[in-house]
Chains A and B, each alone.
Chain A
Amino acid sequence: MSAIEVDFRGGPVSVGLDNLKHVVVLMMENRSFDHMLGALQAENPKINGLTGKESNLDTTNEPVKVQPKAAFQGQLDPDPDHHFPAVNKQLFLGTSGPPATPSMQGFVQSYWDQQRDVAHSHKIMYYFAPNKLPVLHTLARNYAVFNGWFSSIPGPTLCNRAFAHYGTSFGQASMDVFYVKEPYKSIYERLLAAGKTTKLYYFDPASSTLEVVNLLKNQPQIFGTYQQFLEDCKRGELTDYSFIEPNYSDHPGPGGGELLASDQHPDHDVQEGEVFIASVYNVIRQNPDLWKTTALLLAYDEHGGIFDHVPPPSCTPDGFHASLADTGGVPFDFDRLGVRVPAILISPWIAKGTVIPGPEDPAKGRVFEHASIPATITQHFIGAYDQRTVREKAAQTFLDLLGDQMRPDLDCPSFELD
């Protein structure tokens, strides 16, 4: 396709998009946008992060401001509650509840509910200081930060990750097993049926996948390990679309040794997640042919109960209705999004310091969520495809962010792992 052609939606095709052969998605665990990237607003006002004045009231009615005191490990223990009823409190405390605009005032009091320790509850407002996260912050400074990427559901991991694989959670708003309903297919099945290549890489068999019930059970051939991902990249045999899962547990290696969880799920060490993100980036970055033909999306599945200041907007419903048992009795029709999460699109075809405006910009802002992933992959690799939810069809896609100018090699950072 030449640069003057148009894609099937009628928009112009950039040189970067014309060169694109691979999309890789790395999905981490349970951290909010403000917690991980909020500090960067001080150096780039376009980033909708923290001013330092954002606060929640604690259970003694004292205001608790955000503070740049987040540590790699040891602060968010117990794991902050992020099931639907708790997130509902985090979003709507002090309001009449949905459909009111979320107040974002309930994070501290929700965390207090878990062990009734006022001082400990304040830690939910901590965020990482600039340069505390050299990998994430470097990627944010160098590529494209989404101000408006939200988790798909105001709830926990599995139903949110389902949106990245299927464009829906099939009505599930909890951590329970869900089953695929016809006519919908996973993005992997769609790609294979279209003659494309795809792989879902889990870290190793002991960490495995969070998509066991539907995908690993029925399509084990689409899975590989992280080691295989590294080898595929080095050999130039990366599939068209790859999805990477981090290591979800501390466990011994196959030949001994110690493998640390790299998912950044509280209370796993955030530093190990930094190392993991850097290793994914480096293996693409260090292969020149791969680097110029690959877009890497780094996203977090949900906020993990941690503070963010941006009220999640409404969205196109997907036609399902959540069980009231899962939502604490709150009716939920998958018509509003969950809490905002970090998301960064990485490619040499993206201008340094790009920030995609979100809801803070009523004129130009764009709202993304995990259904944007299958929507984008389908659009790019398959084209017209009708057997998907209206939610996915309405989701924003992100490959238009690739431009016409490839940045010189000297302008794109690398990471040196100790």
Chain B
Amino acid sequence: MPKLADPTSEKLPGVVERIEQGDSSAEAELIELYARGVRLMLIKRTGDPHLAKDLCQDTFIVILRKLRAQELRQHDSLAAFISQTAVNICIQHFRKEKRYVYTPDGIIDLNLAHIDEQDKKVDFETTRLHLESVLDQLAVSRDREILRRFYLSDEDKDVICRELGLSLIHFDRVLYRAKQRMRELIDQQEGLKALLFGGLLDA
């Protein structure tokens, strides 16, 4: 597989060594450059930007502790180390033990999640409204159907094209156009980006 341009690691010469030597600015650089990728990984794995943000924080806490303790032997495998740490944190989260005992008078939560449900409620509604406005801009119902069948119903591109009488090029064009629309809206409304993917620097 060809290496893509602009690898983040090239911007961080000696970052592991600097962290091992107690350089806090190196820690900040590491977080700044890897937080977005980790956040996206965790959003994909959890489907929840709020939870992903929390797990991202947990991930970097573990990473920095281990780097400070000089536990990463092969410094050139930093990305693999970060990735695996994020995956482990995610798995641990879903294995965590929780128990609710409910009575009609209220919920006794024996293991409170550290996610602010009120914030989630507001953010969810705001996100939904934003996304509905994007959908409204995709005026052709067939375009919306393509999105739904491709990204949600797990249908293959070939099948969708055959059933809707589309060429593969047309299909790609629909996706490209939808992504452009989405991107324009995100660029116009910075808040939407934070709602969908979290702030980049607040990990």
A, B bound: no
Q: Which residues from chain A sit less than 8 Å from chain B, CB to CB? A: none
Which B residues are within 8 Å of any A CB, using their own CB?
none
